[in-house]
Structure 1
Amino acid sequence: MEKKKRIYTPKEVTIGRSLAYGLTDVMGGAAFTIVGAFLLYFFTTFAGLTAVEGAAIIGIARIVDAITSLVMGSLTDNFYKTKLGKRFGRRHFWLLIGSPLMLEYVLMWVTGMNFWYYLIVYLLFEIIAASVLIPWETLPTEMTTDYKARTKMSTCRMFISATGTFLATFVPGQIINMMGQHNAYAYFVNALVFALIFAVCIMAANLATWEREITPEMEAEFAKAPKLGLWGGLKKQVKDYFSTLKIKSFRKHLLIYLFSFTGKDVYNTIFVYFGVSCLDISATNSANILSLSFVGILVTVIAGFLMVKKGPRFLFLSGYSIMFLMLGAFYMIYRIKPDNIMMWLIIVGLIYQVGRATLEFTPWNVFPFIPDLDEIVTKQHREGIYAAVMTFVRKSTVAIATFVVGLVLQSGGYKEGQTVQSVGTQDTIVSILIIGTGGLILIAFCVALTFKLNRDTHDILVDEMNRLKEGGSKADVTPEAKEVVEELTGFKYEQVWNEDNAK
């Protein structure tokens, strides 16, 4: 009997394997935290670009990357049809090649180049990152159907992500402090250190995880599928992506995810400007305030427990409430400017990071359960498409938000290369921090009030789906199961469990 390949051999989902799985989010969390906190500042201070040029680079690259993410979702779902997919796994192939390609990250942190150079190298990194993250994000759904096991994996992932976020804010500040506040080479050294860490982490995750084996049914489905050609294939992909929006809970989840994460990104993008130009503290001290994200390491452990006991809605509302209060506290610090300003910034920044860590933890702990809602509606496994849609819409909105931040900075009179700015410019920076971040999180808060997916409702839905898989009749559904399925999916019960719903 032929021995199964490692990537198709299921094992127990232990804490160790869950942590190893989560290592990829050192890249997912740290790389873009560094980009959000320092890249626009690097562009405008050391690379000679204007705020609009720097924001345009980030915005354009994110839009192109968002399109790439859509392609990757369908590509990784169907990659089992290729020789490489069969040999290395439709998900794991991308982790295997993505690991060494992480070294490209350093190329965007050099000085003396023009707008087109920075655009191209940043665009390339975004594409490489998407080719790793999209297939990797599907692995909890691939590896197990158990709610607790998936929650364990997602909790470990966010624990690792919180560690990566802390390192991404703490380490740069120390390197900049050691090499000099005005030394552009410090940013290159920082990027090199992290690129090597990213490469090792992705390879470790590749070796510790597995995926669903290619079944004869999948092969048979491929054989009978019509050959659509390039244009027909693209049209089908677009239909597939739009079909995900039919799922009621996914629409809500998407809105919560987009607005909360974009609000967090606005905060990260503008905070160094806020510290340097509004509070007259150094870039290192600003980075140190951001590095208080280390508290997220502990928060993820507590949030993992609360995810099971209280559900995601409780976590959403708690995290957002904390962030609202601390944004107000930052505004008071700006207006009052107390003598012991660093002490107050540390206190407020630490509490803010509790809310921020909860914000980051919850959506990606909810995500592994979304494909189950799709499966009971369509009878299909489409994890990659859902991961791609989440990535696409987020990166599109982040691109717009980043560009708008740069545009508002420029229109507010920001002077490139100067740490001292006018009072009007300072007020502009504060408005972006408080109103921009707070407004986006407020929208997420309102949507989260209506979110009904949790452990209990998910268990009821999965039990009903398993009953249908075993040949059970829809006529025998219990009133409770019918109500839950309709509430979570947005479909009438009589319409679910139908492949035509994926069209």
Structure 2
Amino acid sequence: MTKDFNARTKMSTTRMVLAGLGGMLTQFVPAQLFKYFPKSSPEPYILMQVIFSVATFFLILITYHTTWEHFVTKDEAKKLEAEALAENNGQKPNLKSELKNYFSTFKIKTFRLHMEIYLSSYFATILFSTVFVYYIVYVLKMSTSVSGFLQSLSIVSIPVTILAGFAVTKFTYRSLYIFGYSLILIRAVNWAFVAFTRPAHMMIWLIVGMSFYEVGLYILYFAPWNVFPFIPDLDTLVTGKNRAGLFASVMTFINQISQGLASVVAGYLLDFAHFRQSAGAVSQPQSATDMIIFIVSGGVGFMILLAMFFAARFHLSKKTFKILAQELGRLQKGGSMKDVDPHTKAVCEDLTGVKYDTIDFWKKNDQQTSQNK
């Protein structure tokens, strides 16, 4: 919709703020309905469906009438279809060719780093959310209402997302990642400290630790999805194509796999430690409580350290993207690859992981220039 870094950031931030508000409504509305109807009544479920269906209908109308994108003409569609056939040796797309396209996205260095950051950090959050209630109930011997109260601190999501959107226009993504992950690491240490020492005023320790975690968490949520809209442009520089949809599907697909895998890993570790599953409160063996502490602190901390390692090598920023976007625009207007500035060339190679001189798509510009001469 736009190539301007600040404009993209504002739009992405707005999307995430509204998504956060929507998430709050999906919790607030059911809670209010259940106050006025018996727990066994089907009416609150029907009313929820009606309310959310009507709201969704109007939101779709607003989206349809207020957003825009490049319209693909019939000639462009035929050209894209011909290119797809050429890439697949004249055959229509099949499972093999689609998988090949999926894996081709990882040719872009920044996307590889992006997914490594994304997967390791999201893996950490799933580990935490899987065992947090167990940590409160079985390790600290507190009620589930305490875990509910601590999780309600997620109300910071809206201001944190807004502030992160502002910060990313002033600082690099790498700085934002490191800051957010550092807060989560502090929280991981705090959880282990509370579990082993049982300090006085334990609730204050928990609130402070959870506040750090929630701020770090929403930076963790914000940064990957905010940086994502800029990555397809890197691929366009290498391939000459607009494959934003392909990159989005790859990211979503791997996200689903990672979430399921993290839950399985957490479940397996708990089973290995002889965790006792029960509908009611039961005592757990020492091995189970030790494993819960290990997951909520050590496991989460390790995955966040891994994410920090990848983030330290992440060089996409407002400054570097502007350089790449200018070069892409120059090439799209028929500029010669031979006229590239050395610094621009170095930035493009660093972000894409592809040697500039090996990019074939834009060499047609040089051929046309030679023919015109």
Q: Tell me how far 1:428 sits from its aligned partner.
A: 1.5
Letter paired with 1:272: V
Task: Map 1:230-245 to 2 at 5 A.
Answer: 232-245=93-106
Inter-partner Cα distance in structure 2 for 1:193 and 1:343: 36
CA distance in 1, matches of 2:348, 2:50: 44
Contact 1:289 1:346 in 2 (8 A): yes
Aligned 1:3-402 pairs, distance under 5 A: 143-164=1-22, 193=48, 196-197=51-52, 200-201=55-56, 204-205=59-60, 206-207=63-64, 208-222=66-80, 224=82, 226=85, 232-338=93-199, 340-402=201-263
Q: Hey, what's the Cα distance between the residues in 1 that align with 2:317 and 2:165? A: 13
Contact 1:323 1:356 in 2 (8 A): yes
Post-superposition offset of 1:199: 7.1
Aligned to 1:426: 289
Distance 1:237 1:458, change over 3 A: same
CA offset at residue 369 of structure 1? 0.2
Q: Does the alignment pair 1:475 with 2:335?
A: no
Three-state SS of the structure 2 residue aligned to 1:488 is helix
Comparing 244-253 and 220-229, the one that deviates more: 220-229
Change in Cα spacing, 1:376 to 1:213, as seen in structure 2 (3 Å) is same
Q: Secondary structure at the match of 1:309?
A: coil
Are 2:346 and 1:488 aligned? no
TM-fit CA distance, 1:307: 0.4
Indicate conservation of the 8 Å contact 1:379/1:497, yes or no: no
Contact 2:150 2:207 in 1 (8 A): yes
Listed as ranges, the gaps of 5+ residues in structure 1 are 1-142
Q: Normalising by the residue count of structure 1, what TM-score does the alignment of the two structures yield?
A: 0.64
Q: How many angstroms does 1:165 deviate by? A: 5.2
Deviations 1:446-483 (A, max 9, x none): 01001100011111111111111111111110111101
Whether the aligned pair in 2 keeps the contact of 1:162 and 1:296 (CA below 8 Å) is yes
Q: How far apart are residue 393 of structure 1 and its match?
A: 1.7
Residues 110 and 314 in structure 2, CA contact (< 8 A), matched pair in contact too: yes
Q: Which moved more, 1:162-171 or 1:244-253?
A: 162-171
Distance 1:307 1:420, change over 3 A: same
Distance 1:276 1:377 in 2: 52
Give the drift of 1:221.
Answer: 1.2
Structure 2 distance, partners of 1:488, 1:368, is 14
Q: Is the contact made by 1:170 and 1:291 (CA closer than 8 Å) also made in structure 2?
A: no
Q: Which one-letter code corresponds to 1:419 in the other structure?
A: A
1:196 shift after superposition: 5.0
Residue pair 2:186, 2:209 contacting (<8 A) in 1 also: no
Contact 2:331–2:362 (Cα < 8 Å) also in 1: no
Q: Distance in 1 between matches of 2:193 and 2:240?
A: 53
1:439-454 matches, cutoff 5 A:
439-454=302-317
Q: Which amino acid aligns with 1:200?
A: A
Q: Distance in 2 between matches of 1:270 and 1:198?
A: 33
Please state whether the residue corresponding to 1:243 is helix, strand or coil.
Answer: helix
- When the two structures are aligned, how many residues end up with a matched partner? 354
Deviation at 1:336, TM superposition (A): 2.7
Structure 2: which amino acid aligns with 1:224?
A
Shift of 1:341: 3.0
Closer, same or farther: CA 275–223 of 1 in aligned 2, 3 Å: closer
Aligned sequence identity (%): 37
Contact 1:163 1:297 in 2 (8 A): yes
- Greater gyration radius: 2
Matched letter for residue 431 of structure 1:
F
One-letter identity of the residue aligned with 2:165? G
CA offsets 1:208-243 (integer angstroms, 9 cap, x no match): 433321224422214535397998522211111111
